[in-house]
Amino acid sequence: MKLLFVLENFTVGGVERVTLQLIKGLVQSYQCNIEVSCQSMVGPLLDDFDSLVEVSCTAASHRTFKQHSADFQPDVVIFTKGGLSRLGLGLSSQCKMVAIQHVPIELPEKNKVVNLVRRLAASLLYRRMDRIVCVSDGILNNLVQLKVCSKKNALRIYNPVLSDDIQQLANEEQHEYQDYYVCVGRLHYQKGYDLLIDSVIKLNNPNCKVVIIGDGPDRDDLEALVHHKGLQRQIIFHGMTTNPYKFIKHAKAILLTSRWEGLPTVLVEASYLKTPIVTFDCRYGPDELTQFGKYGHLVPFGDTELFAKCIQQIEQGKGKHSVDVSNFTLTSAVKNYYNLFNSL
């Protein structure tokens, strides 16, 4: 089977990491012939992709992408983000296409007009797709309710988050930090780090240390805010790493303050590594993953006072048991995707 995956770039984001795992599994388990078309050949994960499959910067324009598809003649084209499916408009009607929806169509950071445009654009683009894969039940229900796509054209497949090498990477020694909480994600408005900072202030515990793994466009502003609040010793910006697992495993808990998600990869990884969870109940995923707070501290979105109290409960040893995340194994996800591609 010949598959063409379409990516923006190779940053260490959730989409890029799960796509890498999916491609590995499809190559190893089903001997798929895979190529990757990207918009930009930048990012720490480029070498990982390039060592596995052929990578080319052909998704930068409709013309080059159409030519790549014509030359490779894939059985299925997979757009790893919904917005990338616009590149499918120039392809033959005989070409089978799948789009993966990782986040809600309507985003809290956008105004009503922008969200309406996003909704209408997705509705038009997704008519051309043979299937829409949603990474959580919440995302799937959202698309159907907004009439972006029909229920028969959409399905939920959980991300291929967990593989054998995660435990091995998590077992690497970590001497940089002790007695800390961890956040993992790009430094962007979506991730709600301003709300995290407010929670740490309300916790009022100078011994509480939070390590943020990741980088992004808001780093300077967030560092300035931390400095302004006098929290330099409590909130540490570690930056990017290709192995976040060792920091997750040895943390007291993972903290997620996102304004929205699709299904937070880091919460699956934390559950797998038996790290307690404190998360806002944002759309979508945290309620699904924690089974509505049974397997993690699920806090109403924006309630930084309660978020701080939940951190205090972790300090007192009152973490909750981890949920079963066997549905997120590489084997399970790869099998589901392969069966989907084979059915088109």
Closest CA to 59 of 10, 131, 104, 1: 10
Cα–Cα dist 143/132, whole Å? 10
Torsion of CA 42, 100, 49, 171, to 10 degrees: 100
Only one residue has tokens 């990017």, namely 240
Q: 254: which strand partners? A: 182, 277
CATH of 2-160+329-343 among 3.40.190.10, 3.40.50.280, 3.40.50.2000, 3.40.50.620: 3.40.50.2000
Instruction: Give 95's contacts (C-beta < 8 A, 6+ positions apart).
Output: 69, 74, 77, 88
Whole-number Cα distances in Å, 274 to 11, 181, 197, 212: 26, 14, 25, 19
Neighbours of 235 (CB within 10 A): 23
What pLDDT is stored for residue 212 in this prediction? 98
* Domain extent listing, the chain: 2-160+329-343, 164-326
pLDDT in tens, the chain (344 residues): 999 999 999 987 789 989 999 999 999 999 999 999 999 999 989 999 999 999 999 999 999 999 999 999 999 999 999 999 999 998 988 899 999 999 888 877 778 888 888 899 999 999 999 999 999 999 999 999 999 999 999 999 999 889 888 999 999 999 999 999 999 999 999 999 999 999 999 999 999 999 999 999 999 999 999 999 999 999 999 999 989 999 999 999 999 999 999 889 999 999 999 999 999 999 999 999 999 999 999 999 999 999 999 999 999 999 888 899 988 999 999 999 999 999 99
What pLDDT is stored for residue 129 in this prediction? 96
What pLDDT is stored for residue 93 in this prediction? 85
Cα–Cα dist 127/259, whole Å? 28
Only one residue has tokens 């014509």, namely 70
Q: Do domains 2-160+329-343 and 164-326 have the same CATH topology?
A: yes
pTM comes to 0.84
What pLDDT is stored for residue 222 in this prediction? 98
What pLDDT is stored for residue 17 in this prediction? 87
Under CATH, which number does the domain 164-326 receive?
Answer: 3.40.50.2000
Cβ distance 140 to 263 under 8 Å?
Answer: no
Torsion of CA 221, 17, 99, 132, to 10 degrees: -100
